[in-house]
Each structure stands twice: as structure tokens, then as C-alpha cells.
Amino acid sequence: MKSGWKILGEEQLFMERELSGEEQTWMGKRVLGGRKVSGEVKLSGRLRALARMVTPGSRVCDVGCDHGFLSIYLVREKISPKVIAMDVRKGPLSGAEEHIARQELEDYIETRLSDGLESLACGEADCLVCAGMGGRLMKRILTEGRSKAKRFRELVLQPQSDLPAFRRFLREEGYRTVEENMIEEDGKFYFLMKAVPGGEVLSEELGQDALGQSIRSRGGTEPEAERFGKAGKTEQVWEFEQFGELLFAGKHPVLKKYLGIREKKAGELLEQLRGQDSPRAKRRYREVCRELRLIREAAERLE
């Protein structure tokens, strides 16, 4: 592991106090730290990392706000002057209203019952925050509310699943990922990203050409860029869709740990499949062999 980095243990991660002493940073951002207490609101490291991605001064639309803790944090920390907190479920939204009232922030946070962006008018917010839901659901929200989504200046996103397909969707919709972060919390890994609209809508082949251009702009070698530019799926495109281009570029320390765990699990699965004779097991064995090789190659590139 790179000198100067350490992954904080669970007991440190959830200490209910202000951050003090040395902090981990990655590309100018804090990666992990103690939980901050603001009144009665105790925000997880994952949500605080999301909050740090929001451009200060932005009006925020928090879709899937749950109990409103992130919305409250954004206002109390003076990151956002106005938040529209929305959820499709009445129960959590009612809880959010109670928490907002307890913090006396009703003038700054408005709650709305909404399926995705349905209850939002175009131009009401500068930043969309969408976190804690599956990539497929997030894709549906951005697709059904496309005309509204394209009006945001930035999208702060944390899909829980289907990350490769979701990253590909963003690229093909014309969004450009400008920031990524990754944290470990409660034994789980979370991928966070900030995307901005305005890029050209790309087909899959053109999207891979664009990745080649991105490699060149970030100082990658010409052979690497040419490999990206070729039509068809490439192994390095697979890496970026699985793990995130900017996380790779910054050699994120949590990504290194994540790859180590993925490698271990793939190796264990390979041992379980070894010697099984069914066509399905043999096919799966070949798939896991390839995945294990790609994970190891990705880990080597982070050294």
C-alpha cells in the first residue's frame, strides 16, 4: 500500500466527534473519517462524502431522500441554500419532515412526494443528488425525467448496483464524469461519482473512442489510447466500466483494497468450480478465469 495511506477501522469510522488530527486525502478530497455530529443528525461517511461532491451554493434536489439527513446536512453546513427533498414513499418522507422541523429548517428544505423527478419543475435546482438505490432504478429516473435531468448543472450519484451498465448509460446519454470517490463503510464498498451534462451523446463504439481520447488527455501512452479507440469491447474499457476511470487515474487506495477482495473471492469461486463437468460449470469456470486475470491486471496497474 502506498506510504502515507491507511484504511480506518470501523471503530474509528463511527466515532461521534468532529474530525481532528491527520485526515486521509485523495486528489484533494477526504476519503474516510469520523462521523460528524450536527445537532441530532449523525451522518454516515458515505453521505458526507456525497455532500462534499456538491458544489457550494447549489440548489439541490435530493431524490430518494429517505429520512432527510443528507438534505439537513447540506443546509446546516451551508453547502446549499435550498434543498428539495423528494421520496416516493410516504413513510420516510414523513420522517424527513419531522427531522427537518426538529432542526427548524422548514424555510430551507421543502419535501415532496415524488416518483423520481416527477414533482420537480425544470430549473428548480442546480444539483441532483441520487444515492442509495440500484443502478437500474437510477437509470430509469434519469431516462423518464431526461428533459429535467439535462437542466441540472451537476449530478452527484451513488448507484448501489449495476455500475458497469450505469457508467455506460451515463456516457451514452452524453454525461461526462468529472469526479469519483470510493469509500468503505460497514464492510461494504461504495462508488460515488459526479457527472455533468453537455457532452455529445455517444453510441457504444463512439464512447470507446472517447475513452481513448480521455486516456491521451490524462497522459496515457499512445498504445493504450489506440487500444481504447478500437471498435468493440476491450479489456481496459471493462476495467473502467467496472471500477471507474478517475479512480484508476488517481490510484485510489480504497479501490486497491476492493480489488484485493474481488481477487480473493474470484479465486475461491474458481476452486469451487474446478473439476465440475457440467457445460454450465465449465462455461462459468472460463468466465471466472478471465475475470480473475483482468482483476489482477487492474491491480498491477494501480501499483
Residue 2 belongs to some domain of the structure:
no
> Is residue 275 classed as helix, strand or coil in its secondary structure?
coil
Long-range CB contact pairs, 234-243, < 8 A, 24+: 234/208, 235/294, 235/297, 237/208, 237/211, 238/164, 238/294, 239/294, 239/297, 239/298, 239/301, 240/167, 240/211, 241/163, 241/164, 241/165, 241/167, 241/168, 242/163, 242/164, 242/298, 243/298
Burial, 147: exposed, middle or buried (Cβ in 10 Å; 0-12, 13-18, 19+)?
exposed
Question: Both 291 and 156 in a single domain?
Answer: no
Residue 176 belongs to some domain of the structure:
yes
Which of 196, 211, 235 is where one domain is finished?
196
Q: What is the mean pLDDT of residues 42-64?
A: 95
Question: Both 281 and 185 in a single domain?
Answer: no
Question: Both 181 and 274 in a single domain?
Answer: no
Question: Both 184 and 260 in a single domain?
Answer: no
Given this model, what pLDDT does residue 57 score? 97
Q: Which of 174, 301, 303 is nearest to 242 (CA)?
A: 301
Given this model, what pLDDT does residue 267 score? 93
Residue 207 belongs to some domain of the structure:
no
221 pLDDT tier (thresholds 50, 70, 90): very low
Residue 228 belongs to some domain of the structure:
no
Given this model, what pLDDT does residue 41 score? 65
Distances (CA, A) of 213 to 206, 237, 246: 11, 13, 14
Query: Does residue 18 carry a pLDDT above 90?
Result: no
Residue 292 belongs to some domain of the structure:
yes
Which of 196, 215, 232 is where one domain is finished?
196
Q: Which of 141, 148, 92 is nearest to 120 (CA)?
A: 148
CB-based contact 140:179 (threshold 8 Å):
no
Query: Does residue 10 carry a pLDDT above 70?
Result: no
* H helix runs in 193-250, sequence order: 204-217, 222-229, 235-243, 245-249
pLDDT greater at residue 232 or residue 167:
167
Question: Both 178 and 107 in a single domain?
Answer: yes
Q: What is the mean pLDDT of residues 177-200?
A: 91
Question: Both 266 and 170 in a single domain?
Answer: no
Q: Which residue has the cell 431526461?
A: 146
> Is residue 133 classed as helix, strand or coil in its secondary structure?
strand
pTM given for the model = 0.76
Question: Both 192 and 287 in a single domain?
Answer: no
Residue 114 belongs to some domain of the structure:
yes
> Residue 259: which domain range?
251-303
CATH number of the domain bearing residue 99: 3.40.50.150
Q: How far is 115 from 89, CA to CA, in rounded Å?
A: 9
Residue 182 belongs to some domain of the structure:
yes
Residue 302 belongs to some domain of the structure:
yes
Entry field: residues in the chain: 303
- What's the chain's average pLDDT? 80
Sign of the Cα torsion 140, 146, 152, 153 reads positive
Given this model, what pLDDT does residue 16 score? 27
Question: Both 134 and 18 in a single domain?
Answer: yes
Contacts of 293 (CB under 8 A, 6+ apart): none
CB-based contact 158:131 (threshold 8 Å):
yes
Q: Which residues of 215-239 are buried (b: 16+ CB within 10 A; e: fewer)?
A: beeeebeeeebebbbeeeebebbeb
How many structural domains does the chain have?
2
Question: Both 164 and 294 in a single domain?
Answer: no
Which of 154, 172, 196 is where one domain is finished?
196
Question: Both 121 and 22 in a single domain?
Answer: yes
Nearest 5°: phi and psi at 2?
Answer: -60, 135
> Is residue 109 classed as helix, strand or coil in its secondary structure?
strand
Question: Both 104 and 39 in a single domain?
Answer: yes
Query: Does residue 264 carry a pLDDT above 60?
Result: yes
- Which percentage of the chain shows pLDDT scores above 90? 64
CB-based contact 28:93 (threshold 8 Å):
no
> Is residue 248 classed as helix, strand or coil in its secondary structure?
helix
Question: Both 262 and 175 in a single domain?
Answer: no
